[in-house]
Amino acid sequence: LPSTDDIVDYLSIKESFPKWLVEYLLDHFGEEKTKEILEQSNQPAANSIRMTVKEADFEKIKKALKKDDFEFEESSLTAHNLNLNRGGVAQTDLFKSGKITIQDAAASLAVDAFDFRGDEQVLDACSAPGGKTVQIAENLITGSVVALDIHENKLKLVQNAAKRLHVSDKVKTKSLDARKAKDYFAAGQFDKILVDAPCSGLGLIRRKPEIRYEKSLSDIKNLAKIQLSILENVKDLLSTGGELVYSTCTISYEEDEGVIKQFLKLHPDFELLPVQVGKLPKQEMVRIFPSDDGSDGFFIAKLKKRG
């Protein structure tokens, strides 16, 4: 290994990360956190499932998993996620009957950030493969969710997930670029909007190791522009008093806090609401590192449209 005198060089070689990314993480999160993030990003991702049943039935699910020879640990992020000791859960009856679904704990917190009553009209602006769409639908009684995705073929995944989790009656899909949503929907049509924005995926490196070599700082800056543009194009579709949750599976400042701060500066009719999700303390905006719980790196911010 190179000498530890040059920390960037040392970590870049030790953890197989490009120098620019090591530098970026050091600048933003300091040496300890950076070492943790790099190390954890080289570990396999947790086999995380979300229990889709009422909390009262969690114990039944755990018993059934044990019967199917799965061991698990409870997620340190949410009460409804378990980290299994192995894969293969998609072959079980529990999965096929929709009592559990494969979903990262950090990702599941984005939907938990909403305050649902159950009768809302919801827009999931970038929905495929549909993990968050079905989670929204589970929270609705008389409401419904419209799932958009730019790729028509990916909406099949959303429909299949909705079917398996028995929420098809609450999910409508539409092939549309979220940046054109305002040409298609009416102003104020939705009580809640989720923008789970396309991003650099720096929180997903353990699942997609190639990301580290495919992304650059200019990509991050370009993505931040796309993310802001999506927010710009859906904001008018939110009703007064409505909630907008913005989430990404990255940990870059530009795509996370940067986008939110810029958006709030441009739109004083929106305010930032503190977020309390899962087992985490209430905070202004939520950042989960890949080194927390073996989950994906993730960011969540919640906005409200003022009256």
249 classed as catalytic? yes
Q: Does some domain include residue 2?
A: no
Question: End of a domain among 102, 119, 137?
Answer: 102
Q: Does some domain include residue 53?
A: yes
- Three-class SS state of 38: helix
The boundaries of the domain holding residue 214 are: 105-305
Global pTM value: 0.96
Q: Which tokens in the block code for residue 140?
A: 């609705």
3-class SS string, 209-220: CCHHHHCCHHHH
CA distance 37 to 48: 19
Q: What is the DSSP letter of 166?
A: T
What pLDDT digit, counting tens, does each position of 158-192 carry?
Answer: 999 999 999 999 999 999 999 999 999 999 999 99
Q: Does some domain include residue 284?
A: yes
Residue by residue, DSSP assigns 256-289 as: THHHHHHHHHH-TTEEEE-B--TTSPPBSSEEE-
Residues 35 and 79 in one domain: no
Exposed, middle or buried, 122 (CB in 10 Å: 0-12/13-18/19+)? Answer: buried
Q: Does some domain include residue 67?
A: yes
Residues 94 and 219 in one domain: no
Rounded to 5°, the CA angle 302-248-144 comes to 60
Residues 85 and 112 in one domain: no
CA distance 126 to 132: 10
Spatial contact of 162 and 142, defined as CB atoms under 8 Å apart:
no
Q: Which tokens in the block code for residue 305?
A: 């449209």
Q: Does some domain include residue 72?
A: yes
Q: Does some domain include residue 1?
A: no
Residues 68 and 111 in one domain: no
Among residues 249, 259, 300, 303, the one annotated as catalytic is 249
- Cβ-Cβ contacts under 8 Å for 304 (sequence gap 6 or more): 241, 242, 243, 244, 270, 271, 273
Nearest-10 crossing angle of helices 105-112, 131-138: 40
CA distance 110 to 135: 10
CATH of the domain at 245: 3.40.50.150
CATH of the domain at 76: 3.30.70.1170
Residues 66 and 143 in one domain: no
Residue appearing with tokens 């913005």: 246
- pLDDT at residue 294 in the model: 82
Q: Distances from the Cα of 86 to the Cαs of 44, 49, 62, 128, 199, in angstroms?
A: 11, 11, 15, 25, 28
- pLDDT at residue 1 in the model: 66
Residues 62 and 194 in one domain: no
CA distance 174 to 189: 15
- Three-class SS state of 2: coil
Spatial contact of 94 and 283, defined as CB atoms under 8 Å apart:
no
Residues 249 and 267 in one domain: yes
CA distance 292 to 40: 9
Rg of the chain over CA atoms, in angstroms? 19
Q: Does some domain include residue 162?
A: yes
Per-residue pLDDT 10s for the chain (307 aa) are 667 789 999 999 999 999 999 999 999 999 999 999 999 999 998 899 999 999 999 999 999 999 999 999 999 999 999 999 999 999 999 999 999 999 999 999 999 999 999 999 999 999 999 999 999 999 999 999 999 999 999 999 999 999 999 999 999 999 999 999 999 999 999 999 999 999 999 999 999 999 999 999 999 999 999 999 999 999 999 999 999 999 999 999 999 999 999 999 999 999 999 999 999 999 999 999 998 888 899 999 999 999 7
Question: End of a domain among 81, 102, 123?
Answer: 102
Closest by Cα among 119, 57, 120 to 94: 57
Cis, peptide link before residue 2, omega less than 30° from 0: no
Q: Which tokens in the block code for residue 56?
A: 């009262």
Q: Does some domain include residue 253?
A: yes
Residues 123 and 230 in one domain: yes
Residues 16 and 52 in one domain: no
Residues 121 and 195 in one domain: yes
Residues 157 and 90 in one domain: no
Burial 158-172 (b: 16+ CB within 10 A, else e): bbebbebbebeebbe
For the chain, the domain total comes to 3
Residues 79 and 187 in one domain: no
- pLDDT at residue 139 in the model: 98
